[in-house]
Structure 1
């Protein structure tokens, strides 16, 4: 029996994949603990989860799990967005979490630390203490080496990491803390992500890590089995910019109500329809929270922001996508979907109802995107998911060499 410490940021999309892996390890007789924000981790991993508190100073999510790096202006793009992410979220979060991670290691004494790519304190503290550690890569965007064409930005990023390591890790250490020298768990497959430009032979493609989640109420009786079901969601980070897009999507899908029924995730009530049924509200069911995995098992298409978790969960079910990336890693993931033939990419800021509707028609009625989605679904299932990730972690804990 081994002991595994998961170090996670206060972001739902980064914790959920780890929850599945932790459950697989527990079922195999191992002990698991967490370093992170207790209320959020317990909401996702179960109220009995062992959580060592880590302050989340500098994290705009504030422990609420909104998957927002901070209150970043929506208009920031490109290198400025990267700078904002690192200077306003990743570095402050690492510095705030580092003392709690050290206390968690001292109290739990793990054999292996599993550090999310955005919880840099996990990697740097494990490196400093000489512990084996694995990277939990909950998005495949980092494998593309997007900064290769921007050497000045890459140099700035490397200097920032060196300075952070000097403050909270081993100043003599080297290497990118987002890529463990021991094991990198990638929750995707090359069929979607393409060959990795970073990580080398340490990368293990395990596909999505899915597990049961706390259920949310849903009016299942309002679903019409005679119509195609389209799920529309912009994730938990984009409520500040999503109202216009959700309105256009609802218009597009209402115009197709003779053959399409929509479920729209509407956290801020932008559509104003609520949960009560009324005229037209069987065409567009708008709710602040939905049981996404259960709906994906019934869905025929998904319209989303190209968030990595939503994309992979849809493709796990063989559901093609309309992707409208907004920021961060989303343009990279959207390009992966389009390149894999599993969906259609549109421009978020300029998408009209007609544009969204035409894209939905393509993924519903053109056989190509559905075939592409099913190809990726097979690859995801063959990759093994959370049980495969658990086996790789067991090998690391036992000191066994990973097969390439």
Structure 2
């Protein structure tokens, strides 16, 4: 069987999909994974055949259409609509090469990752089943609606009035965290995955102090979101903790000099995560799922409105939520002290980990893909 995995724009949307693609390939199926040219090295690092569908990234579509160059609010409904419009335009740009690939390679099944709105359209074009792989971590309905509107021309040319519905939906979000309005889905366990580097003892060995990992996500660059990471480090550095700062290598250099004993750089969260006492980050979906998978309490700094899972994790007792207007140094330091000092957070995070471990592994889900393709 040939399975086409339509990946996303960056590591955050790509990494959650990789374990299922690897499982399918290990089961003997032919697998291609697509992405924009900048993420092709990440796909190759995962040992998967990569196909570049566009030289652009979603950032190239930040300006709204129709000549409107007014800045879009970074929070609230405006932000979600802007995200949907960007990913819709990005999907439209990818469609041409995806169709060329479908014509030449002829997949039997298409699996679309988070925000991969081109996936259902190329599946419809190739007349094969479409599987939606969701995380329910930052995919509000308004984002999809905005993307659908941006894809109006492509839908009309395909004789459609809406994006094709999936033939199967998978979700890697633990059931207790999934939004109540999320569509029915079969569970698949989130397996923490990231690009790797040589393991050093400090990555997994504690120094006796509480271990705090700070991250602004894999998308941070010296030009994008660097101020977020720099602010996080500044706020956490004065605390008496074993501090890990997860950032791309080109970003880590700009953070120096670091507090004594701190480490910064590309830190694989699947290696360092189990040794952490708390993770502090901006509630990126992949990072949040990884924290849950390792049973680590989290402090979520939310800068995007409309996301339900940060509040849900706080309700479950596994996280402390800090909204954008309250994320000053004193607030974050107090939150770290609260989470480290209250074992209830660790117990709640452990319960979430057990729930996640009870979900079927990606290797167990491959059979469902085989059955779906066989019925087509």
- Partner residue of 1:243? 227
Q: CA deviation at 1:27?
A: 1.3
Deviations 1:22-62 (A, max 9, x none): 1111111111112223562343443763233311446227x
- Partner residue of 1:362? 338
d(CA) in 2 for partners of 1:244 and 1:183? 37
Say which of 176, 201, 206 aligns to 1:191. Answer: 176
Q: CA deviation at 1:294?
A: 0.6
- Partner residue of 2:156? 166
Report the TM-score, using the length of structure 2 for normalisation. 0.85
Shift of the 80–28 alpha-carbon distance from structure 1 to 2, 3 Å rule, reads same
- Partner residue of 1:93? 90
State whether structure 2 residue 355 is matched by structure 1 residue 373.
no
Q: CA deviation at 1:193?
A: 2.0
CA contact (8 A) 1:207 1:385 kept: yes
d(CA) in 2 for partners of 1:210 and 1:221? 16
Q: Give 1:317-336 correspondences, 5 Å limit.
A: 317-327=294-304, 331-336=307-312
- Partner residue of 1:277? none
Shift of the 270–343 alpha-carbon distance from structure 1 to 2, 3 Å rule, reads farther
Deviations 1:145-194 (A, max 9, x none): 468xxxxx96x765444444124xx22x35445xx431112121212224
- Partner residue of 2:260? 281
CA contact (8 A) 2:88 2:147 kept: no
- Partner residue of 1:112? 109
CA contact (8 A) 1:249 1:356 kept: no
Instruction: Tell me the C-alpha RMSD between the 2 structures.
Output: 3.0
1:387 counterpart SS class: helix
- Partner residue of 1:293? 270
Deviations 1:99-149 (A, max 9, x none): 11111112221110111242222211212332111112144343x6468xx
Deviations 1:205-251 (A, max 9, x none): 21313347422565628954311111000103355445366445544
- Partner residue of 2:286? 309
Q: CA deviation at 1:372?
A: 1.5
Q: CA deviation at 1:366?
A: 1.1
- Partner residue of 2:59? 60
Mind listing any 5+ residue stretches in structure 2 that lack a counterpart?
65-70
Instruction: Determine which structure has greater relative contact order: mean sequence separation of CA pairs < 8 Å that are 6+ residues apart, divided by chain length.
Output: 2
Shift of the 22–371 alpha-carbon distance from structure 1 to 2, 3 Å rule, reads same
Say which of 345, 349, 353 aligns to 2:321. Answer: 345
d(CA) in 2 for partners of 1:58 and 1:47? 20
d(CA) in 2 for partners of 1:245 and 1:37? 25
1:344 counterpart SS class: strand
Q: Give 1:124-139 correspondences, 5 Å limit.
A: 124-139=121-136
d(CA) in 2 for partners of 1:370 and 1:222? 18
Shift of the 348–242 alpha-carbon distance from structure 1 to 2, 3 Å rule, reads farther
State whether structure 2 residue 369 is matched by structure 1 residue 393.
yes
Shift of the 244–52 alpha-carbon distance from structure 1 to 2, 3 Å rule, reads closer
Q: Give 1:138-177 correspondences, 5 Å limit.
A: 138-142=135-139, 145=141, 159-167=149-157, 170-171=158-159, 173-177=160-164
Deviations 1:351-400 (A, max 9, x none): 22221111112222212221211111111111123223323322222229
- Partner residue of 2:25? 26
Q: CA deviation at 1:328?
A: 6.6
Report the TM-score, using the length of structure 1 for normalisation. 0.80
Shift of the 245–289 alpha-carbon distance from structure 1 to 2, 3 Å rule, reads closer
CA contact (8 A) 2:216 2:228 kept: no
Query: How many equivalent pairs are there?
Result: 365
